[in-house]
Chains A and B, each alone.
Chain A
């Protein structure tokens, strides 16, 4: 936390480039954490999270670039549109389970990208949407990346706090019940379709916020930013960091976004090392990066925590 707060004043001063990298890290943290609510808690696999990222980005982008609406309002509109689409689609799609749900969300992602490309007059089509203004709030333009850095990370911390509170609440327990066994959950009075829809909408709304932040940061967005590979990237971040812990998702997003900053030094072998590290992590750390950190913490604190197997991977 302290590191995040002090970064722009210290290292960021030396190289402003890292501020921009960390803004992108923040945006992906929101995406991975929101997907964790859906996959890690409710157990509903989505391979189309970038669709809602796109809806947030394009809603915000179109409203500000073409209609001159203030960015904070556009952000809320992006959140609303993502949530509304999720609500409409979720009612049908969430009846599916497992691989079928994964395929349907994958298809949804493809359809959204196609629609964006098709409605060129509105979205700029394949060549992208230009001239999205930087974020302005209370008359203050957050053009300077340092300000925007604090704005984005403020939202990241807000989102994470909310998600952690939600995970610990009875609402979170209900999602875990649905994740474990829908039929058993329903005989305890849990209306599974309702809860699945709610978490799908919440998760998509947060992805919409990330999209809006992304659009105002980049100033230019294109359909390629939101294709299926982006969805898979978010999914990999989640599994890399550790599913169902919120912290793990954040860690995975940070790790995967920062990894190229290290591997680019290998130049020709960049992709090779990138892939190698991913494979090693997934083979040797089934509980993700967070699982390793927890093991180290337990080791440092002494063996009494290790005697309780269920404490692994539950807290940071």
Chain B
């Protein structure tokens, strides 16, 4: 325990989350190699890089879906590396997925999805569901009220909560997934390409949402391809390429970094970033 704390102190004190020399490979194919960076409390950190750079793999390592071959992930003073996904979630880390993953089995509704998001607060059990139904009922009502608040927060207040989530337009499904992730009142949010598939107007709305969430004191790690969005909201950016950290810094440093420009050369992103710089 002492070793762990010392090690943590050594790496960085101001960081809420610290990725420390993480490597991961899949049957010989290197997905992440010695990646280290930290995220300050209350900041939005963007994680960018070309397709296949290892962004989603890193997110999966942080949220415990994958365990790293070597290296550690620290959150506050705790080493998350060997914890299971549900234990990591209980530490206050919540996430969304690149392909929206809402619950649809058994005609699960929009409201059901949000209520399930509050699992860490409700902690339902078989015994509670039977013998403490009064208490559970009260708790349910409180959580339901939070669910409506979260829908308002992400701008889905007009959505009929009794409908299946798959009946929602794609953009709204993304927002619902974020609302679900917020239901557990996390300290930190990991978002995997939350703006992909959104149109320009939706991206603009989404930018405001990110800033609102930030204002609530929630730290965000944002994996995103939309460079305009990244440049507008991120406090710092870390760039991955072929599983290695290519660069880290604020928006200005990253957009003028020669290596980053080379990594993106030939793609559309540089145009977007360039456009943002000239404007």
Is B65 a contact partner of A183 (Cβ separation < 8 A)?
Answer: yes
Q: How far apart are the CA atoms of A188 and B181 in the complex, in Å?
A: 7
Contact of A171 among B109, B117, B124 (CB under 8 A): B124
> Is A313 among interface residues, defined by CB-CB distance under 8 A?
yes
Instruction: Please name all residues of chain A whose beta carbon is closer than 8 Å to the beta carbon of B126 when the two chains form the complex.
Output: 166, 171, 198-199, 202
Which of B84, B119, B125, B163 is close to A188, meaning CB atoms less than 8 Å apart?
Answer: B119
CB distance from A154 to the nearest CB of B (A): 18
> What chain A residues lie within 8 Å of B112 (beta carbons)?
173, 176
Cβ-defined contact, A309 with B106, below 8 A? no
- Could you say which interface size class chain A belongs to? 35 or more
Interface residues of B in 102-124 (CB under 8 A from A): 102-109, 112, 115-117, 119-120, 122, 124
Could you say which residues of chain B place their CB within 8 Å of the CB of A55? none
A187 adjacent to B95 (CB under 8 Å): yes
Contact of B119 among A43, A172, A174 (CB under 8 A): A174
Residues of A within 8 A of B180 (CB): 188
A15 → chain B closest CB, angstroms? 39
Complex contact A170–B184 (CB within 8 A): no
Shortest C-beta distance, A140 to chain B (Å), equals 28
Q: Which of B44-52, B85-93, B200-208 contacts A (4 or more CB under 8 A)?
A: B85-93
Known: A188-B116, A309-B167. A314 touches B101 (CB 8 A): no
Q: Check A24 for interface membership: any CB of B closer than 8 A.
A: no
- Closest B residue, CB atoms, query A170: B124
Q: For A179, list chain B residues within 8 Å (CB).
A: 103, 105-106
Please tell me which stretch of B2-10, B68-76, B127-135, B265-273 contacts chain A, meaning at least 4 of its Cβ atoms lie within 8 angstroms of it. B127-135
Q: When the two chains form their complex, are residues A165 and B108 in contact, meaning their CB atoms are under 8 A apart? A: no
Q: Are B136 and A189 in contact (CB under 8 A)?
A: no
Task: State A90–B25 Cα separation when bound (angstroms).
Answer: 32
Determine whether the beta carbon of A180 is less than 8 Å from that of B108.
yes
CB-defined interface of B192-226 with A at 8 Å, one 1/0 digit per residue?
00000000000000000000000000000000000
Tell me if A32 counts as interface (CB < 8 A to partner B).
no
Report whether B97 and A308 are in contact in the complex, using a CB–CB cutoff of 8 Å: no
Residue B255 lies at the interface, judged by CB distance under 8 Å to chain A:
no
Tell me the minimal C-beta distance from A301 to chain B in angstroms: 16
Q: Contact at A185–B116, with CB atoms within 8 Å?
A: yes
Assembly CA distance A174 to B106 (angstroms): 12
**Inter-subunit contact A189/B108 (CB<8 Å):** no
Question: Could you tell me if A40 and B94 are in contact, using CB atoms closer than 8 angstroms?
Answer: no
Beta-carbon contact of B163 and A308 below 8 Å: yes
Q: Which residue of A lies closest to B120 (CB)?
A: A189
Using A184-B101, A187-B95 as known contacts, say yes or no to A165 and B167 having CB atoms under 8 A apart: no
Q: Which of A43, A166, A186, A199 contacts B86 (CB 8 A)?
A: A186
CB distance from B107 to the nearest CB of A (A): 5
Determine whether the beta carbon of A165 is less than 8 Å from that of B89: no
Bound together, the chains give a CA A189 to CA B164 distance in angstroms of: 23
CB within 8 Å of B: which A190-222 residues: 190-192, 198-199, 202
Contact A186 to B128, CB < 8 A, known contacts A170-B122, A170-B140, A309-B164: no
Task: Say if the beta carbon of B162 comes within 8 Å of chain A.
Answer: yes
The complex places the Cα of A198 from the Cα of B88 at a distance, in Å, of 22
CB distance from A97 to the nearest CB of B (A): 14
Contacts of B136 in A (CB 8 A): 169-170
**CA of A202 to CA of B95 in the docked complex: distance in angstroms?**
31
Q: A177 near B: Cβ within 8 Å?
A: yes
Among A170, A189, A312, residue most surrounded by chain B Cβ atoms (within 10 Å): A189
* Contact surface of A with B, Cβ cutoff 8 Å: 40-41, 43, 162, 165-166, 169-174, 176-177, 179-181, 183-192, 198-199, 202, 244, 308-310, 312-314
Given A171-B128, A185-B103, 16 new contacts (CB under 8 A): A165-B133, A170-B122, A171-B129, A173-B115, A176-B105, A176-B108, A177-B116, A179-B106, A187-B95, A188-B86, A188-B94, A188-B181, A189-B86, A244-B105, A309-B167, A313-B107
The 8 A-B pairs with the shortest beta carbon distances in the complex, nearest first, are A170-B124, A169-B129, A189-B89, A180-B103, A186-B85, A189-B120, A179-B105, A184-B101
